[in-house]
Amino acid sequence: MTSSSGVGLIVRADAPGATIERNVHGQFVEHLGSGVYGGIWVGEDSAIPNTHGIRADVVEALRRLHVPVIRWPGGCFADRYHWRDGVGRRAARPRRVNASWGGVIETNAFGSHEFMEFAELIGAAPYVNGNVGSGSPQEMAEWVEYLTSDADSELADLRRRNGRHMPWAVPYLGFGNEPWGCGGSMRAAAYADEFRRFATFVGTGHGSTICRIAAGADGEDPGWTETLMADAGPQLDALTVHHYTMPTGSSKRKGAATGFGEAEWISTMSRCLRIDEVIRNHAAILDRFDPAKRVALIVDEWGTWYDPDPGTDPAALRQQNGIRDALVAAVTLNVLHGHADRVRMANIAQLVNVLQAMILTDGDRIVLTPTYHVFEMYRPFQGATSVPVELEAPGYALGDRTVPSLHASAAIDGRGRRILGVVNLLPFTTAEVSARIAGARVTRATGRVLTADEMDAVNDVERPDAVSPLPLGTALRMRPGGVDLELPPKSVAVVQIE
């Protein structure tokens, strides 16, 4: 049985803010579990339809998301990856142990050429994450030359001989990953020195501009950002922060993807919402060192992280994905939109089959997750102008936790349409939302909603469309200066208002 609660919100269309960079809707893929092998790469001889080994169904689904940017090859894997292993004749590539993720054999069948082709096929800009932890400045510099140089040099020639005549653009280059942990167990000052050393040799001289991305903090460590900005601020263009949502807050027993109760529902929402404070803390440090906002903050790993699905390899980080994940995705995108002035890229972890995935594959079948649907519904925010939302929502409390019952972000797109993304966090209560659009007349409003009956409803191969967006229909009503919305329990809606 559901009850209802009334909420008023104002879309401050009269107070436009920063542009929501398209890259804030970015993705991340790592050599981990079946994130690459099986998820993206099936090989040219596979019975699964493919383009040069890259599965066609996954590409087709991702093209609909308008993925702006994709980070590869890790994650922890990046600091053990040696790019030469992944170029040249596939049959001759070395087989290595993937020591980051379960010691499985890495065939290197998916390397630089395959990744760049994949990025091109889905229409995304490549964000290549280099190896600082176990690599050298020379190795990283040579990788960049191999990928981006048009010179008459040995490395550019090698690329040509390997089948790619034109250089690629690599607009984003990461310098290691989580250097405080799997990327080398470094202290902040030591990494700052490493970054300076690598940046001296890497990413210049081949005619294209590369955004140099320093590996940042665990979200809860602003001290890392402080040291990095003090010691290497002028050398870097962006620095990163990671924030994962684990329902129990413990990385040992994180909580299950399905079969949980309301206490884990609200703790998931609460831990996801913490990303707002994490960004605020790091942005405040950046504001001190860089008031002109030259340096971007990039949230290059975020999302839910549960215990692995029963019966799966724990190192593969495979987890089901449900309506709860959809809400986490929408709340996080709302938060990111609100920080558009500083956060210029974010990459959800991870694209296929790993953690909070867009797509789960099962042999030759694919399932689009509820998280996928949120990214598709939120597409109109890409490149739009962020506007503030004033929201007076009652709190949703359970036990010792309280979170807002409603969460929203808004923007104005290039055609002047107002876009409102709104989430009802209450699992059993309908929200009656009365939205006023400041400074605008309302002549037309359309929208869709994503919801489900159960808190742990998922899509799977038996019921791939169980959680899918539907038109808001009569739940969306226009009135002078605004719209009224009836939002079912545990739902995400996106409304376009003209």
The residues annotated as belonging to the active site are: 178, 301
- Kindly state whether residue 489 participates in binding ligand AHR, applying the rule CB under 6 A: no
**Torsion angle of C-alpha atoms 194, 195, 197, 198, degrees rounded to 10:** 110
In the complex, least distance from residue 77 CB atom to ligand AHR, rounded to whole angstroms: 6
In the complex, least distance from residue 183 CB atom to ligand AHR, rounded to whole angstroms: 8
In the complex with ligand AHR, the residue whose CB is nearer, 164 or 282, is 282
In the set 98, 112, 177, 347, which binds ligand AHR (CB under 6 A)?
177
Strand partners, 493: 422, 449
- Kindly state whether residue 427 participates in binding ligand AHR, applying the rule CB under 6 A: no
In the complex, least distance from residue 75 CB atom to ligand AHR, rounded to whole angstroms: 3
In the complex with ligand AHR, the residue whose CB is nearer, 11 or 132, is 132
In the complex with ligand AHR, the residue whose CB is nearer, 71 or 164, is 71
Q: Fill in the per-residue mask, 354 to 383: x = in contact with ligand AHR (CB under 6 A), - = not in contact.
A: -x----------------------------
Contact 272, 332 (CB under 8 A): yes
In the complex, least distance from residue 344 CB atom to ligand AHR, rounded to whole angstroms: 20
Q: How far apart are CA 157 and CA 228, in angstroms?
A: 37
Judged by CB under 6 A, which stretch of 165-173, 187-195, 266-274, 349-357 contacts ligand AHR?
349-357
- Kindly state whether residue 347 participates in binding ligand AHR, applying the rule CB under 6 A: no
- Kindly state whether residue 76 participates in binding ligand AHR, applying the rule CB under 6 A: yes
Judged by CB under 6 A, which stretch of 48-56, 70-78, 198-206, 327-335 contacts ligand AHR?
70-78
In the complex with ligand AHR, the residue whose CB is nearer, 106 or 145, is 106
Site for ligand AHR in 156-175 (CB under 6 A): none
Site for ligand AHR in 249-268 (CB under 6 A): none
Strand partners, 299: 346
Query: Of 65, 4, 100, whose CA–CA distance to 358 is shortest?
Result: 65
- Kindly state whether residue 178 participates in binding ligand AHR, applying the rule CB under 6 A: yes
Q: How far apart are CA 169 and CA 147, in angstroms?
A: 8
In the complex with ligand AHR, the residue whose CB is nearer, 355 or 435, is 355
In the complex with ligand AHR, the residue whose CB is nearer, 264 or 301, is 301
In the complex, least distance from residue 27 CB atom to ligand AHR, rounded to whole angstroms: 12
In the set 349, 412, 433, 475, which binds ligand AHR (CB under 6 A)?
349
The amino acid at residue 244 is Y
- Kindly state whether residue 300 participates in binding ligand AHR, applying the rule CB under 6 A: no
The amino acid at residue 476 is L
For residue 1, count CB atoms less than 10 angstroms from its CB and return exposed for 0-12, middle for 13-18, buried for 19 or more.
Answer: exposed
CB atoms within 10 A of CB 127: 25
- Kindly state whether residue 75 participates in binding ligand AHR, applying the rule CB under 6 A: yes
In the complex, least distance from residue 347 CB atom to ligand AHR, rounded to whole angstroms: 10
- Kindly state whether residue 133 participates in binding ligand AHR, applying the rule CB under 6 A: no
Q: How far apart are CA 43 and CA 30, in angstroms?
A: 17
In the set 39, 74, 133, 427, which binds ligand AHR (CB under 6 A)?
74
Q: Give the nearest residue (CB) to ligand AHR.
A: 75
In the complex, least distance from residue 242 CB atom to ligand AHR, rounded to whole angstroms: 6
# residues near ligand AHR by CB under 6 A? 10
- Kindly state whether residue 79 participates in binding ligand AHR, applying the rule CB under 6 A: no
In the complex, least distance from residue 103 CB atom to ligand AHR, rounded to whole angstroms: 15
In the complex with ligand AHR, the residue whose CB is nearer, 40 or 419, is 40
Site for ligand AHR in 11-40 (CB under 6 A): 30
In the complex with ligand AHR, the residue whose CB is nearer, 74 or 370, is 74
In the complex, least distance from residue 271 CB atom to ligand AHR, rounded to whole angstroms: 16
Contact 319, 308 (CB under 8 A): yes
Residues lying near ligand AHR in the complex (CB under 6 A) are found at 30, 74-76, 177-178, 301, 349-350, 355
